[in-house]
Structure 1
Amino acid sequence: MSPPTLYHFPLSPPSRGAVIAAKIIGVPVEVKIIDLMKKEQFNESFIKINPQHCVPTLDDNGFVIWESRAIACYLADKYGTNDDIYPKDLQRRAIVNQRLYFDSSFVYPRIRAICYPIIYDGVTEIKEKLKNDLNATLGFLNQFLEDSKWVAGEHLTIADTAILASLTSILEVGWDITPFPNIERWLQSCTSIPGYEDNLEGAKIFASIVKKNLK
């Protein structure tokens, strides 16, 4: 049985989140790059695998799934040996799931709402409402971290990898997080996560595209 294949684009925050999740779970994956800027996601061969043509996409010996957080959960359940990363205890798992959904419903959409119009639609400044929306979301994240080392408790989980991948993208654009000391402390802890440097490299490239289009 061959290792799972992960179709990936390093500029994509969710895609980077799936790669880091695989690293902390300890499952080797064969990474195949799908260059979204070159529109490789529309290649017929990729659309056959994923008609929604998005990354990340996982192909585990014929079982195909996409959506980065779903991929992380699947890999943790199938290949994980450390129960802390995605706990089987229902209440602990529920907290991890809540944080994953918080990333998919709030953190990443707020960042996407700022960055994608700048990258693709010729927008050259960040509207005040979008700044306020993201800062309100960061306020909640700061509260989650008030009494715990990681976003879902005292152990590193796949929720941390998802939120880290989202957040580093906007931080590299230059977002001010000094009002959120718990996030600053957590980010320092995140430097020890396997794959942190690779994620940061992708975030820097993503941010460079945003910054060059800003006034």
Structure 2
Amino acid sequence: MENRESKPKQYIALKLKDNKNPMRTIPILDEGEFTLADSHAIALYLITKYGKPEHSYLYPDDIRTRARIHQIMFIGVLFPRLRAVMAPTYSGKLGELSNRMIVNIVDAYTMLEEYLASSSFLTGNSMTVADLSVLTTVSSLNGLHPIDGRKFPKLTKWLNTMNDMDVCRRINAPGSELHVMGLKALMTNYKSNQKSKL
């Protein structure tokens, strides 16, 4: 959401008040004296503060497992590939994925396939918060440029496994579908406007 006018007024007020969100990003967590931006940092904070013992597999105490989780969550490859599509689309300047965007998305799929080479999930054989975090981005990327199951069998299997989980069906799938539909609608609108100018 590059256009400041399109951001909710409450978000803008929170952003400006006491410089709580210099990053100017969504989401933001505000607990009065404590404010946190970035979805990855928020997820780790929430699971550490509010997680119950039965959910410890999502963010285990083992320091090496946590290091792998952090590596996946903060890798800085996946979301920039999606943002490269979202920014021009939301600002009305993109009608379809460019070849460069497609190459970058496929490169991200290749990286994930390699992470899944010897395990069922991204950091081992149990799902963690890293898998949930990556799922949100991969779901949107897959909706824009579908994963080739022959080229990326492990990633395809991982995505199907994640999508079969109740929490992912209830929470991630509807949001992802809306996000992809919205992006595609904006791209179609841009192409239509370009044709009408001819």
TM range (shorter): 0.7 to 0.9
Distance of 1:181 and 1:133 partners within structure 2: 19
Tell me how many residue pairs correspond in the alignment: 179
Q: 1:55 aligns with which of 4, 26, 29?
A: 26
Aligned partner of residue 194 in structure 1, secondary structure: helix
User: Are 2:124 and 1:153 aligned?
Assistant: yes
Which residue number in structure 2 is paired with residue 43 of structure 1? 12
* Paired residue type of 1:188: N
Is contact 1:177-1:183 (8 Å) kept? no
Distance of 1:70 and 1:196 partners within structure 2: 23
* Paired residue type of 1:40: P
Unaligned segments of structure 1, at least 5 residues? 1-11, 13-35
Which residue number in structure 2 is paired with residue 118 of structure 1? 89
Higher helix share: 2
Is contact 1:138-1:180 (8 Å) kept? yes
Q: Taking every aligned residue pair, what percent have the same amino acid on both sides?
A: 26
Which residue number in structure 2 is paired with residue 175 of structure 1? 146
Larger Rg: 2
* Paired residue type of 1:207: V
Which residue number in structure 1 is paired with residue 196 of structure 2? none
* Paired residue type of 2:158: W
Which residue number in structure 2 is paired with residue 30 of structure 1? none
* Paired residue type of 2:57: D
Question: Please, what TM-score do these two structures have when normalized by structure 2?
Answer: 0.79
Q: Which has the higher contact order (CA 8 A, sep 6+)?
A: 1
Q: 2:49 aligns with which of 61, 78, 82?
A: 78
Aligned partner of residue 132 in structure 2, secondary structure: helix
Question: Please, what TM-score do these two structures have when normalized by structure 1?
Answer: 0.74
Which residue number in structure 1 is paired with residue 157 of structure 2? 185
Distance of 1:100 and 1:209 partners within structure 2: 25
Q: CA deviation at 1:97?
A: 0.7
User: Are 2:150 and 1:203 aligned?
Assistant: no
Is contact 2:147-2:156 (8 Å) kept? no
Structure 1 pair 132–160 and aligned structure 2 pair: CA distance change class (3 A): same
Unaligned segments of structure 2, at least 5 residues? 192-198
Q: Deviations over 1:129-188 (max 9, x none)?
A: 221111111101011112211111111111011110011112223523322111111112
Is contact 2:14-2:21 (8 Å) kept? no
Query: What is the aligned-residue RMSD (CA, Å)?
Result: 2.3
